[in-house]
Amino acid sequence: MVDVKGLWKDWRLHTIVLAVVVITELIGNYEFAVGPGVVVLLPMLYAIIIGIILYFTPAIKEKQAKHAEPLIVLGVLLLIAKIGVVIGPSLPQIIAAGPALLLQEFGNLATILFALPIAIYLGLKREAIGMTHSVAREPNVGLIVDKFGFNSPEGRGVMAVYIFGTVFGAIFMGLISGFLATITPLHPLSFAMASGIGSSSMMAAASGSLIAAFPNFETDIIAFAGASNLLSLSTGLYMSIFIGLPLTEKLYQIITRRRHKEEA
């Protein structure tokens, strides 16, 4: 557990966050149409952006930014507690949907088939393996650094996607999930399960947009997204070790060998 000693005394930080919460919640949800789809903007998205901007103002000093990090963990515990008490009563439905929940975890591997060819096409070398073998959250970064080293091309690749996800992941997921769920024929519950990719903030942003777009499914969306996220958190690393990484390396070899042949 991270050290949170004395952090409650940083009143400067808490007061600023209080102001951010008041402003963003008063603005409230905002939806707009893009073609046939709907993009949902939620207070949490404004909150991240305002937070990042505040970092560059004198209001936030380096100390506050350092203090904020361990507090996220405590906040996430309350989020998970809330998700837990939504999952509990929905347990019969979740058990009924168990096969879909388990199998959609393999959908995380789709990123390899989807993103690896693009990375290689853009001219990236072994960085591509680190970048596309998984969604690059903490356990995956650990795996790659452990196997290839921090300063290897693979290590740099996984760190790059990790940084992207940290800064932009929740914003990105919040923007695309409501939009995709409104323009594709797929059911909101399928997207709810897909929201659980193993990062609490990305899951919250993705499922939050779904809830705003489909309020009638609120409870089911939270329960399925939360259950899927817990599954991803507990299986994600093993998925990478046993399937994701070997598959990425194999596919990398196949694609680059073919390109070399064509060039020769």
Partner 1 sequence: MLKNIQEWILLLSIFGILILLGNWLNYEIVPLSAIPGMIVLIGIALLGLVIQKMLPINLPTVAYVAIIGILISMPWMPGSERIVEWTSQIELLATTTPILAYAGISIGRSWADFAKLGWRTIIVASFVLLGTFLGSALIAEIILRVQGII
Residues 237-256 within binding reach of partner 1 (CB under 8 A): none
Contact status: 86 vs partner 1 (CB under 8 A)? yes
User: For partner 1, which is the closer residue by CB, 2 or 254?
Assistant: 2
User: For partner 1, which is the closer residue by CB, 148 or 159?
Assistant: 159
User: For partner 1, which is the closer residue by CB, 6 or 261?
Assistant: 6
Least Cβ distance, residue 62 to partner 1 (angstroms): 8
Task: Assign 3-class secondary structure to the chain.
Answer: CCCCCCHHHCHHHHHHHHHHHHHHHHHCCEEEEECCEEEEECHHHHHHHHHHHHHCCCCCCHHHHHHHHHHHHHHHHHHHHHHHHHHCCCHHHHHHCHHHHHHHHHHHHHHHHHHHHHHHHCCCCCHHHHHHCCCCCHHHHHHHHHHHCCCCHHHHHHHHHHHHHHHHHHHHHHHHHHHHHHHCCCCHHHHHHHHCCCCHHHHHHHHHHHHHHCHHHHHHHHHHHHHHHHHHHHHHHHHHHHHHHHHHHHHHHHHHHHHHHHHC
Contact status: 47 vs partner 1 (CB under 8 A)? yes
User: For partner 1, which is the closer residue by CB, 134 or 261?
Assistant: 134
Contact status: 222 vs partner 1 (CB under 8 A)? yes
The binding track of 142-181 with respect to partner 1, each residue x by CB under 8 A or -, is: ------------------xx-xxxxxxxx-xx--xx--x-
- Give the dihedral sign, CA 254/259/262/263: negative
Least Cβ distance, residue 55 to partner 1 (angstroms): 2
Contact status: 122 vs partner 1 (CB under 8 A)? yes
Contact status: 74 vs partner 1 (CB under 8 A)? yes
The binding track of 1-20 with respect to partner 1, each residue x by CB under 8 A or -, is: x--xxxxx----xx-xxx-x
Q: Which of 39, 104, 143, 148 binds partner 1 (CB under 8 A)?
A: 104
Q: What contacts 11, CB < 8 A, 6 or more positions away?
A: none
Q: Report CA 62 to chain centroid distance, whole Å.
A: 25
Q: Which of 28, 142, 149, 246 binds partner 1 (CB under 8 A)?
A: 28
The binding track of 188-207 with respect to partner 1, each residue x by CB under 8 A or -, is: -xxx-xxx-x--xxx-xxxx
User: For partner 1, which is the closer residue by CB, 143 or 264?
Assistant: 143
Contact status: 230 vs partner 1 (CB under 8 A)? yes
User: For partner 1, which is the closer residue by CB, 216 or 264?
Assistant: 216
